[in-house]
Structure 1
Amino acid sequence: MDDELRERVKQEAEKHALFNALKHHSDPDVGAIMGPLMGENPEFRPHGDEIPGVVGQVVGKIGRLNRAARRERLTELDPELIAELDADDESDDHTLPDLPNVDDYETIRLRAAPNPNGPWHLGHARMPAVIGTYCDRYDGEFVVRFDDTDPETKRPDLSAYDAILDDIAYLGFEPDEVLRASDRVETYYEYARELIEMGEAYTCDLPAEEFSELKREGTPSPNRNKGSDTVREEFEAMIDGEYSSGEMVLRVKTDIRHKNPALRDWVAFRMIDTPHPREAAADYRCWPMLDFQSGIDDHLTGITHIIRGIDLQDSAKRQQFVYDYFGWEYPEVLHWGHVQIDAYDIDISTSTVKHLIDTGELDGWDDPRAPTLQSIRRRGIRGEAVVESMIGLGMSTSDVDLAMSSIYANNRDLVDDKADRYFLVRDGERVPVVGEEKPAAGNPPRHPNHEDRGRREIPVDDAVLVEPADLPSDGERIWLKGYGCVRHADGAFVATGDDIDAVREDGVDVIHWVPADGTVSVRVRTPDGDVIGEAEPGFAETDVDEIIQFERIGFVRVDDHAADDSVVYYAHD
């Protein structure tokens, strides 16, 4: 490392160490700042052996300063970081706004209401992340209600019920109650019967297009003034399955001249010929629409606050008619915009992912190319990292963008300190190693910040494998990390016996490598396709599910060790 680079490392390390100490009201720690430092300055990575020593000196000096002096110094170096600290203090560590009127309720209850038509994509994580965080803040209760009353258009996937609960657990939350709307159909029938007795609902056999035309004109359906006895009889016939799809619906009476046509006499129940895939619900043909079912359930399960998309504002307005008829108080409602996620070339909708799986373009819901929670979980990304990024989006009613780099940065902070290091070489070129100064083995550290973990033993017999781009010109020296200095001469590496000053003072490049013999063949599954490489022998001792870092490549999760090769899933750099 030359003097100029060393000064840059000191400057960047000082900013990170000061920010870390001020934010956490503690002394700075080398391990805590190494991840952000190396992540923001990739040009430092070839000098990973030396960086901790330089950082340690900086941390030692900052440790002798009091808080006021630390703040003054960071103000000199980077006023924007001071502004960020102050903004965090003003928000009282809550990115999410306070829920309205919490003092009006003995217990706060929020619900996630997924449609189980497939496992969750990344965008779905926002709801449980926010609800779970609010429940933690207010010691509230988290209800999961599967809104599965559409067995045709959004047909439930029987495996999705458990898959979604697994996704919620992965994100770090446990529901206090789990309900399936398809188990509660008889309850919805009872409340529909009450509305009919009140004269606030009627059966309607007009074709949908004909009713839509009347609705636009503000003209009531000729069915609207049926007697309650007739309505009751026809509704019971709906329940008994005596009508086919499209022949009869039950409508809630509202204001047929309401300024918003979407609220005029909306459908509460319709006929669906397709049987529900759940055996317990397969016999039903008369199914509630979501606005009716959800509105009834929110009241009966004591939901105090509803969080929903800004595009669903009309749902509350429709449901308010039902609540008024029954004399119920509507829950508090918060709206937010949609989440748009970068880094994926495909649409993140459940239907799109399912189509790509069915056509063989994706291997499954956990394919590394899929924008799903199962996928990033298999890649070794912690649920906590996802939650932190989702919470960081706040509750804006505008559409918001989520950069995957945010999730990756959060995850890096979580795994960097624990992940042991290994070498992996792609498209390795075999180079003989010769010379009287040739060491018998390389001994790089298991982790650059934790000497107490020891060093790896990588035997070198006659040759090593290096990546073609790392091979120096003939006559130039290179430092094989953890092994020593060699000169490339006549197609071989000649050990020179130079010490680390060759790197520090002469600017010799540092590269990773593996021995030519005894390596482990590894298939790295990435969002951009599979990559094949050779890992150092010690990699074979890693455990499945362990997160490790292949130096200069990135963090991976160990997925499988087989006789012919090992498989890892790439997380991020």
Structure 2
Amino acid sequence: MDEDLRERVEREAEKHALFNALEHGSDAEVGPIMGPLMGENPDFRQHGDEIAGVVAPVVSRVNGMDAEEQEARLQELDADLYEELMAEEEEDDQLLPDLPNAEEYDEIRMRAAPNPNGPWHLGHARMPAVMGTYTEEVYDGHFIVRFDDTDPETKRPDLDAYDAILDDIDYLGFTPDEVLKASDRVETYYEHARNLIDEGGAYTCSCSGETFSNLKNEAEACPHRDKDVETVHGEFDDMVAGEYSSGEMVLRVKTDIEHKNPALRDWVAFRMVDTPHPREEAEQYRCWPMLDFQSGIDDHLTGVTHIIRGIDLQDSAKRQRFVYDYFGWEYPEVLHWGHVQIDAYDVKMSTSTIIGKIENGELSGWDDPRAPTIASVRRRGIRGQALVDAMLELGLSTSDVDLAMSAVYANNREIVDDDADRRFFVRDGVELPVAGGPDVANPPLHPDHEDRGDRDIPVGDAVLVEEQDLPAEGGKVWLKGFGPVKRTADGLEYTDDDLAVVKSGDVDVIHWVPAAESVPVRLRTMNGDETGHAEPGYADYGADEMLQFERVGFVRVDEQVADGESVAYYAHP
């Protein structure tokens, strides 16, 4: 390489190394900058073997600078590239819009209000991802997790779901400032119901559901609407005491019986439920608040400033405003968003659907790789931040939005790739004897980190190769880390070809494992389980470690078994 070319390579490498370091807020690496470097400078390619040696010291020099020095140097070398970096950073900072009227509040307070009727599916991740980001990263606010568990019958709480949901929030990277259970606050709701009765804003009603529906649709007042306050108090006290059965009596909020939206006309605030609550602390209650009443009271008492809820729940704010007006309270700021739809799954993203499939044996549990759940992607080795970043990129559109799992996978690849060692895994391989060649193969542990060294794979007398990788008799392949082999009638025979046959495109590089010392592995994937064998060094990894099975994809080690089949979960390509 002549001196002029070397100077060009160094200059271009420095630009890309500076951009890489500033973009990711960490040290630049040789591997990630080689692609754009060679792509933008085609004439460098014929010197490919020498380029990396020139680039490495440049990268080291860039990593020795602080961020201010890197910015100044990039601006000096390439002002356009620097502007591109600044535009990227500005775009990243604007993933979420400013909250309305945020400057009017001393503290931004937001709440995630899950119903703990089961663990979370992937769509639920949007709630803590957005609200946690607003309160922890954008506004230094207050993040509340409130379990809306006041329906012991229709959406019956799952006692295990409370901790499971908090665990999921932690996995996503957020820590609530406050955790509440609505079922612990029933007396508070009773107190406010009595205050509402005193304000003339509520009445007890024993109409059947059908009778009241007909009255409501005709904009006619319920005959119980004008009861005196003492009677309403007495009947509500009887509700609280459990004197009525389900359907016999409700407490209604008095609104506008002629309101243009029938759904807002004298809505139910409390009803009777015969089924005891599964929580021991709440099993004595039979008179339970409806969600709109309970949630509205709690939002005020906990000082919530901003609410984000589904576009399909617009009537909730309208109902709750009647209660707020009776009490003279100021309603929080409200934003609405559409539903999240996620590709790549055959199972509907619904708690009840997933429960049904687990109960009938179609799924092995919430962490089955085929289930569209947080537990599933977590067990597959997908980091919470990868999911959060993908959710933030959806913004706050009021339309339904599509989340491509490929976006989650791309985010996760950036997070895990650098630390994930490479290993070979052959799915249901064909065993072939090998003649000649070295006794031990030495592929690198990581192609971008030469300092980590190579791995030693004893070849033995035979190898396992995936059938689709095998050439016809007389054809050649390159066993990665071992070398070139030709297929013969008896198996594989080592040849004296050099790497030029690979660079020319005449010979494919394939993965393999030794037949004698390989490790049996069951790989759990979204398409079902696959069986095969991993190279011997796989046995050294513990549960939760991430690897890349070369030419297969990233996996999370789930369980190592000394004398049996180990288990790994497939994450993504």
Confirm or deny a common fold (TM above 0.5): yes
Return the offset for 1:53. 7.5
Counterparts of 1:184 and 1:509 in 2: how far apart (Å)?
A: 67
Q: Residue 6 of structure 2 corresponds to which residue in structure 1?
A: none
Q: What code does the residue aligned with 2:377 have?
A: I
Confirm whether residue 329 of structure 1 aligns to residue 293 of structure 2. no
Counterparts of 1:312 and 1:465 in 2: how far apart (Å)?
A: 57
Counterparts of 2:53 and 2:308 in 1: how far apart (Å)?
A: 46
Counterparts of 1:211 and 1:509 in 2: how far apart (Å)?
A: 75
Q: Which runs of 5+ in 1 are unaligned?
A: 1-12, 41-49, 76-81
Whether contact under 8 Å (1:422, 1:536) holds in the other structure is: yes
Return the offset for 1:475. 1.5
Instruction: Note the 1:113-512 alignment, pairs <5 A.
Output: 113-136=113-136, 137-435=138-436, 438-505=437-504, 507-512=506-511
Q: How many aligned residue pairs are there?
A: 541
Confirm whether residue 564 of structure 1 aligns to residue 564 of structure 2. yes
Q: Structure 1 25/203 Cα, relative in aligned 2: closer, same or farther at 3 Å?
A: closer
Whether contact under 8 Å (2:394, 2:403) holds in the other structure is: yes
Q: What are the superposed Cα offsets for residues 516-567 of structure 1, whole Å, 9 maximum, x if unpaired?
A: 1011000000010000011111110011110001000000000001121110
Return the offset for 1:34. 7.7
Q: Structure 1 333/35 Cα, relative in aligned 2: closer, same or farther at 3 Å?
A: farther
Q: What code does the residue aligned with 2:258 have?
A: R
Whether contact under 8 Å (2:15, 2:78) holds in the other structure is: no
Q: Residue 531 of structure 2 corresponds to which residue in structure 1?
A: 532
Q: Residue 70 of structure 2 corresponds to which residue in structure 1?
A: none
Q: What code does the residue aligned with 2:483 have?
A: G
Counterparts of 1:489 and 1:469 in 2: how far apart (Å)?
A: 16
Counterparts of 2:50 and 2:276 in 1: how far apart (Å)?
A: 67
Q: Structure 1 176/57 Cα, relative in aligned 2: closer, same or farther at 3 Å?
A: same
Return the offset for 1:101. 1.6
Q: Structure 1 505/209 Cα, relative in aligned 2: closer, same or farther at 3 Å?
A: same
- Secondary structure of 2:93's counterpart equals coil
- Secondary structure of 1:367's counterpart equals coil
Task: Name the stretch that deviates more: 58-67 or 339-348.
Answer: 58-67
Counterparts of 1:69 and 1:15 in 2: how far apart (Å)?
A: 7
Return the offset for 1:185. 0.4
Q: What code does the residue aligned with 2:421 have?
A: D
Whether contact under 8 Å (1:34, 1:52) holds in the other structure is: no
Q: Residue 96 of structure 2 corresponds to which residue in structure 1?
A: 96
Q: Structure 1 372/268 Cα, relative in aligned 2: closer, same or farther at 3 Å?
A: same
Return the offset for 1:432. 1.1
Whether contact under 8 Å (1:117, 1:156) holds in the other structure is: yes
Task: Name the stretch that deviates more: 58-67 or 503-512.
Answer: 58-67
TM-score with structure 2 length normalisation? 0.89
Counterparts of 2:551 and 2:179 in 1: how far apart (Å)?
A: 45
Counterparts of 1:542 and 1:388 in 2: how far apart (Å)?
A: 28
Q: Residue 110 of structure 1 corresponds to which residue in structure 2?
A: 110
Q: Residue 547 of structure 2 corresponds to which residue in structure 1?
A: 548
Whether contact under 8 Å (2:15, 2:74) holds in the other structure is: no
Whether contact under 8 Å (1:555, 1:572) holds in the other structure is: yes
Counterparts of 2:74 and 2:91 in 1: how far apart (Å)?
A: 24
Return the offset for 1:493. 1.4
Q: Structure 1 34/283 Cα, relative in aligned 2: closer, same or farther at 3 Å?
A: farther
Whether contact under 8 Å (2:557, 2:567) holds in the other structure is: yes
Counterparts of 1:507 and 1:100 in 2: how far apart (Å)?
A: 61
- Secondary structure of 1:571's counterpart equals strand
Counterparts of 2:398 and 2:385 in 1: how far apart (Å)?
A: 24
Q: Structure 1 91/205 Cα, relative in aligned 2: closer, same or farther at 3 Å?
A: same
Q: What code does the residue aligned with 1:410 have?
A: N
Return the offset for 1:431. 1.2
Q: Structure 1 124/306 Cα, relative in aligned 2: closer, same or farther at 3 Å?
A: same
Where relative contact order (Cα < 8 A, 6+ residues apart) is larger, the structure is: 1
Give the aligned CA root-mean-square deviation in angstroms: 2.6
